[in-house]
Amino acid sequence: MSPHAVTHQLPRIKLTAELREFAVTSNAFLPEHSPLKQLPDSYYEPWELVIQHLPALIKYFDIRRAVDTLPVLSTERLRSEAEWRRAYSILAFLTHAYVWGGEKPAQVLPPQITVPFLAVSQHLELPPVLSYAAANLWNFSSSSNDFTDLDHLDTLHTFTGTESEKWFLLISVAMEARAGTIIPKMMEALEAVKTRDYDVIISALEQLKSCIDSVGVLLERMYEKCDPMTFYYKIRPFLAG
């Protein structure tokens, strides 16, 4: 285990209906449990086969051919929100891989991507691009219930297959989870302002400072495994719009 790992058990937090309405969990905007690793309906196996081999398809400039030969799949067989999120993440990665995975950027996306991606994006009320949700929030696995522990986190998908890209994405996952504990406390502080309950306000602000400090410690770990040159020349181009 890394000497920087968070070893204490994070406190369970109570979420109000208002927070749940905005998809806030005890892990902030991460799901309560690890995202789906695969869509359960075999109908979507064509998507899964391409995304599982994404780094190799990009490396050998074969991603566009792979996408062009896909069937245009319907989104009507997606059942749960977890499945919609999985589909969104897959299609977002395929979109950016298709655009940036050739010698020149692609100017037009094929219907194999656009038709289902627009439908999924509309359902989730998210833009049809590789958003933070697609790349980070719904693109990780964990062997622990503590999503702040980087030793137990892994990405589901990357463009390059490099350790630098995995680490870049997972640092954000850990930071998100660590910050999740403070959201209800700050909501309590806002309510306390109305009654001038200064003890609650001061306590919340002290906890906020501690949270920001611990998030900063996680951010500083970016340099452990994310090589700046690898990020700039190999990873960053795929994160463009």
pLDDT in tens, 215-232: 999 999 999 999 999 999
pLDDT at 97: 98
**Would you say residue 171 lies in a domain?**
yes
Task: Give me Rg for the CA atoms of the chain.
Answer: 20
Cross-strand pairs, 140: 155
> What is the residue range of 53's domain?
32-180+227-239
**Would you say residue 132 lies in a domain?**
yes
Q: Which two tokens stand for residue 99?
A: 């655009």
> Which helix or strand (DSSP H or E) is residue 142 part of?
strand 140-142
> At residue 240, does pLDDT exceed 60?
yes
**Would you say residue 149 lies in a domain?**
yes
pLDDT at 100: 97
**Would you say residue 15 lies in a domain?**
no
pLDDT at 15: 54
Residue of 134 and 241 predicted with greater confidence = 134
183, 159, 163: which is closest to 171 by C-alpha? 163
23 pLDDT band, cuts 50/70/90, is confident
> What sign has the CA pseudo-torsion 74, 29, 11, 13?
negative
pLDDT at 19: 73
For 141-180, the pLDDT digits (tens) are 999 999 999 999 999 999 999 999 999 999 999 999 999 8
**Would you say residue 134 lies in a domain?**
yes
* Count of beta carbons in the 10 Å neighbourhood of residue 98: 22
DSSP-based three-state secondary structure for 140: strand
Beta carbons within 8 Å of 220's beta carbon, 6+ residues apart: none
Q: What is the pTM of this model?
A: 0.89
**Would you say residue 138 lies in a domain?**
yes
Q: Provide the number of structural domains found in the chain.
A: 1
**Would you say residue 211 lies in a domain?**
no
Give the C-alpha separation, 237 to 241, whole Å: 9
**Would you say residue 158 lies in a domain?**
yes
Cross-strand pairs, 142: 153
Alpha-helical regions (H) of the chain: 17-21, 45-52, 54-59, 63-68, 81-100, 111-124, 132, 163-179, 182-195, 198-220, 222-225, 228-230
pLDDT above 90 as % of the chain: 82
> What sign has the CA pseudo-torsion 87, 89, 93, 95?
positive
14 pLDDT band, cuts 50/70/90, is low
Residue of 102 and 1 predicted with greater confidence = 102
For the CA atoms of 127, 69, 141, 224, what is the dihedral angle to 10 degrees?
Answer: -80
Mean of all residue pLDDT scores within the chain: 92
pLDDT at 17: 63
